[in-house]
Amino acid sequence: MEYGLKKTRKSLPISGTFMPYQHLEILNLNRTTKKVKERKPTLSPTRINTYLTCRVKYRHVYIDKIGRFYLKSRPYFSFGTTLHSVLQTFHTEGGVAAPESMVAKLDEAWVSAGYESAEQEKEHREAGEKIVQAYAVAHQARLEEAVETIALEKTINFDMGRFKLSGRVDRIDRYPDGRLEIIDYKSGKNEITPEAVASDLAMNVYQLILKRNYPDTPVFSTIQSLRTGSKASAELGETELTAFEAEITQLGNEILDCDYTAISPQKIDACECCDFLPRCARFWDNQELAELLDAPFDDSD
């Protein structure tokens, strides 16, 4: 099983990296943080995905910290941030708000940055109104099932030895039988399959953290498309979880031990939509020039 690791090594859609989520805790889950007392490097799914996509980008963002000079706002980041904020408010207020009141929450939370035109922003706003209203309607069924939301935008972590494995989950629900459901919202995807959830690195990381902190509690993951309401779930068995933990440990050590100063930018598929492309393109131009200058002079013409 790939657990999202091999897939992301080949081509990685990085999402949610720079969303400025607000932190809110509505149930004390501090057991997850008490275990990690000393200051250790932290690895999150976003960091790991960035490393798997491009180690040069990892260096720029997490070691040299020059992202603020290059990273741009994007419509999908702004749209996702807005929707997450609305849903957070909705759940904080008890998850009982009338669908029609959701539009006002959307207006309050709206993030305008990154849209390329007023028309594009209008299209997103109209889509957002439908999404948040449909969400409020669908949530009534959850209330009837007595499913309880116990955490929102919650940072969870687990000590992996040399590093702390950490992640921020959109929502954690608890069923009457005690099962915990980790829920991740996707604002850009339409259809979700169990296979997609099972191979999603972030969902597996969240499961690993919660299952290691709460070994007696059944935990499963769900990805929910906000656009369509489509959702699917997956759960790692103990054998898979152990194998995934070993892979993450090995990968984490590789990330910590990597000599980033020895790595040069290489042209890969991800360059096309990478904000660091101008910087790397300058490197390639200089490299070409240096090769020309180093080439033996040919005067055969």
Helix, strand or coil, per DSSP, at residue 217: coil
Q: Quick check: 103 binds ligand SF4 (CB under 6 A)?
A: no
What does the alpha-carbon distance between residue 17 and residue 19 come to, in Å, rounded to a whole number?
6
The two tokens of residue 171 are 């929502």
Q: Quick check: 248 binds ligand SF4 (CB under 6 A)?
A: no
Q: Quick check: 57 binds ligand SF4 (CB under 6 A)?
A: yes
How many Cα atoms sit within 13 Å of 150 on the Cβ side? 17
Chain positions 280 to 299 lying near ligand SF4, rule: CB under 6 A, are 280
Stretch that binds ligand SF4, among 5-13, 84-92, 185-193, 268-276 (CB under 6 A): 268-276
Specify whether the CB–CB gap between 56 and 63 falls below 8 A. Answer: no
Scan for tokens 């509505």, then name that residue: 26
Q: What angle do CA 84, 89, 92 make, to 5 degrees?
A: 120
Helix, strand or coil, per DSSP, at residue 155: strand
| Among residues 134, 150, 271, 284, the one that binds ligand SF4 under rule CB under 6 A | 271
Minimum CB distance to ligand SF4 smaller for 102 or for 274 = 274
Q: Quick check: 139 binds ligand SF4 (CB under 6 A)?
A: no
Q: Quick check: 277 binds ligand SF4 (CB under 6 A)?
A: yes
Minimum CB distance to ligand SF4 smaller for 57 or for 124 = 57
Specify whether the CB–CB gap between 33 and 157 falls below 8 A. Answer: yes
Q: Quick check: 54 binds ligand SF4 (CB under 6 A)?
A: yes
Minimum CB distance to ligand SF4 smaller for 48 or for 152 = 48
Instruction: List residues near ligand SF4 by CB under 6 A.
Output: 54, 56-57, 265-266, 268, 270-271, 274, 276-277, 280
